[in-house]
């Protein structure tokens, strides 16, 4: 019997059946909790502690987001995950003319210390872990978070959470950059250095493959591009004289989980091994914890369909199970109606309950790496490792991730694969249930969330009042100190940003100050 030409989403050939002859004998799975951590970074994994259930949320103003946070915590969520609107992501205040129509739409509008205070009103910040999906303005949002903790009476040393703070993937796939790459890398290095000394339980960067995967890259490319970016960030810190073991334990990662179930499990298993080898062989980390790949997973928003939205519950469940079987430390499950708009509370609860059912009813948490030893999974894991290493060598020959971004290499690779996926869907070679096969003539849309149209009006009015009533002398002094620090490449910017937000300087004003010093990034466009 001959094998049909079947491949995974990443192009790995799939045999009809797998046996012991499918595997390289030198790469059989090791014990979990031991180098190179293929089977898990902890010996007992979920037998000892479940992953953090962290539903991504944030919309409208600080008040609306605060209400959603309290709803999720009451439903059993174990960590907060904060989404920001586009003006906040791109360094514009809510009252900026270019913010019109976008305030509070894709996430919460945070322009000032007052906004952040409202967002976390009544939430004990020393007891929750908060993840903030923010990049170009991550240093400012972290400074606001630290300042709110100070107002609540909590030491920054007790704060737990993550700032995404991954600017490289913005140039590659997402485009919410502000400054050119080199000053942006400087700000990230400043944040990592500051947190290592003053906010030791915080993850100052979450190196993200998620957005590149959602843009169209394969699972292999997701790992390769993410680790290439990680090498760039770690090198930035090492080059400024920070010892790798002083900060590596607070690096985290963020991956996507899509529908190719077995390949996704293999991807997460291979990722741990690849990263451990990078940290040991390239950066010569000595501390065992510096070799640990700690990662958050979000199920694929791009895979959700506006047609037959209830089908998305099955998609999210499948993806979430793969993430758990792959050994994630934190997980967000998308809501069924996200292809239509912001999720309703009912849909958010179903998404959270999906995680809780996997954790408490399926039994997959009773043993470590339950898919380990599967001939197919092990073969995919080995293939994934080999292909990722080929990409990393190619990127290294280009001069590293920054050089590859500037040459447009990552961007071209993603575009080519995204085009291939679109062709497969259009030709029905790739079946999307309810979209290009098994369609319903009458597809009833569920109730969707509708934002209050006056949210933007109220937010802008509050911000104008905030600016009108602040101490202008203190404000001007903070701006002057911030600009002077930005002009000095050897000065860490974080203390000056914290001083600025405490002096009631807004996010947009901080960003404008940096623009004057660093300039704006204008990508080259070829036709």
Residues 6+ apart with CB under 8 A from 504: 112, 113, 466, 470, 471, 474, 475
Supply the DSSP symbol for 255: E
**Residues in contact with 189: Cβ distance below 8 Å, sequence separation at least 6, in sequence order:** 233, 236, 237, 240
CA distance 420 to 412: 12
Query: Going residue by residue through the chain (527 aa), what tens digit of pLDDT does each one get?
Result: 555 689 999 999 999 999 888 887 666 667 899 999 999 999 999 999 999 998 888 888 999 999 989 998 998 888 898 999 999 999 999 999 999 999 999 899 999 999 999 999 999 898 899 999 999 999 999 999 999 999 999 999 999 999 999 999 999 999 999 999 999 999 999 999 999 999 999 999 999 999 999 999 999 999 999 999 999 999 999 999 999 999 999 999 999 999 999 999 999 999 999 999 999 999 999 999 999 999 999 999 999 999 999 999 999 999 999 999 999 999 999 999 999 988 888 999 999 999 999 999 999 999 999 999 999 999 999 999 999 999 999 999 999 999 999 999 999 999 999 999 999 999 999 999 999 999 987 766 677 766 777 899 999 999 999 999 999 999 999 999 999 999 999 999 999 999 999 999 999 999 999 999 999 998 876 54
The β-bridge relationship of strands 160-163 and 205-208 is: unpaired
How far is the C-alpha of 24 from the C-alpha of 385, rounded, in Å? 12
The helix (H) or strand (E) run that includes residue 323 is helix 311-325
Residue 251 φ/ψ, nearest 5 degrees: -95, 140
Residue 104 · residue 456 · CB < 8 Å: yes
- Return the CA Rg of the chain: 23
Query: Angle at Cα 374 formed by Cα 385 and Cα 226, nearest 5°?
Result: 25
Domains observed in the chain: 37-426 (3.20.20.240)
* 3-class SS of residue 193: helix
| 3-state secondary structure string across 26-76 | HHCCCCCCCCCCCCCCCCCHHHCCCCEEEEEECCECHHHHHHHHHHHHHCC
Q: At what angle do helices 375-398 and 261-277 cross, to 10 degrees?
A: 50
Q: Which helix (H) or strand (E) holds 291?
A: none
Could you give the count of Cα atoms lying within 13 Å of 146 in the half-sphere of its Cβ? 28
CA distance 271 to 243: 23
293 and 271 Cβ atoms separated by less than 8 Å: yes
């Amino acid at each position: 019997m001959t094998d049909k030409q079947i491949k995974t989403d990443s192009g790995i050939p799939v045999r009809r059946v797998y046996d012991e002859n499918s595997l390289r004998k030198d790469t059989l799975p090791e014990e979990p909790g031991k180098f190179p951590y293929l089977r898990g970074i902890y010996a007992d994994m979920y037998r000892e502690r479940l992953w953090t259930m962290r539903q991504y949320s944030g919309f409208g103003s600080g008040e609306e987001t605060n209400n959603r946070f309290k709803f999720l915590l009451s439903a059993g969520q174990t960590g907060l995950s904060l989404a920001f609107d586009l003006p906040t992501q791109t360094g514009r205040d809510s009252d900026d003319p270019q913010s019109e129509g976008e305030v509070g739409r894709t996430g919460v509008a945070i322009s000032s210390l007052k906004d952040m205070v409202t967002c976390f009103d009544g939430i004990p910040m020393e007891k929750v872990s908060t993840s903030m999906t923010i990049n170009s303005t991550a240093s400012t949002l972290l400074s606001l978070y630290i300042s709110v903790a100070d107002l609540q009476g909590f030491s920054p040393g007790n704060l737990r959470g993550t700032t995404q703070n991954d600017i490289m993937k913005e140039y590659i796939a997402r485009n919410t950059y502000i400054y050119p790459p080199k000053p942006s890398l400087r700000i990230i290095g400043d944040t990592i250095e500051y947190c290592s000394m003053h906010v030791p339980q915080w993850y100052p960067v979450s190196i993200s493959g998620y957005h590149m995967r959602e843009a169209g890259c394969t699972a292999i490319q997701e790992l390769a591009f993410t680790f290439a970016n990680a090498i760039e960030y770690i090198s930035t810190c090492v080059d400024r004289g920070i010892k790798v073991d002083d900060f590596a334990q607070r690096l985290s990662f963020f991956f996507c989980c899509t529908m190719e179930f077995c390949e996704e499990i293999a991807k997460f298993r291979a990722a741990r091994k690849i990263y451990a080898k990078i940290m040991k062989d390239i950066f010569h980390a000595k501390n065992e914890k510096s070799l640990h790949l700690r990662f958050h997973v979000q199920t694929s928003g791009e895979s959700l369909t506006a047609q037959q939205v209830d089908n998305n519950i099955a998609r999210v469940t499948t993806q979430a199970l793969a993430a758990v079987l792959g050994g994630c430390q934190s997980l967000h499950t998308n809501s069924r109606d996200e292809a239509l708009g912001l999720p309703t509370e009912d849909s958010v609860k179903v998404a959270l309950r999906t995680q809780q059912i996997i954790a408490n009813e399926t039994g997959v948490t009773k043993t470590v790496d339950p898919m380990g030893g599967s001939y197919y999974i092990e073969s995919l894991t080995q293939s994934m490792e080999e292909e990722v290493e080929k990409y990393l060598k190619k990127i290294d020959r280009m001069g590293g991730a920054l050089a590859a971004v500037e040459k447009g290499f990552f961007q071209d690779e993603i575009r080519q694969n995204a085009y291939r996926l679109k062709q497969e869907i259009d030709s029905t070679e790739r079946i999307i249930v309810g979209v290009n096969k098994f369609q319903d003539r009458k597809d009833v849309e569920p109730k969707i969330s509708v934002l209050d149209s006056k949210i933007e009006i109220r937010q802008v009015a509050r911000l104008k009042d905030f600016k009108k009533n602040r101490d202008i002398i203190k404000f001007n002094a903070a701006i002057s100190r911030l600009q002077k620090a930005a002009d000095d490449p050897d000065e860490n910017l974080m203390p000056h940003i914290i001083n600025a937000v405490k002096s009631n300087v807004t996010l947009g004003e901080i960003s404008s100050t940096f623009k004057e010093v660093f300039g704006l990034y204008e990508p080259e466009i070829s036709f």
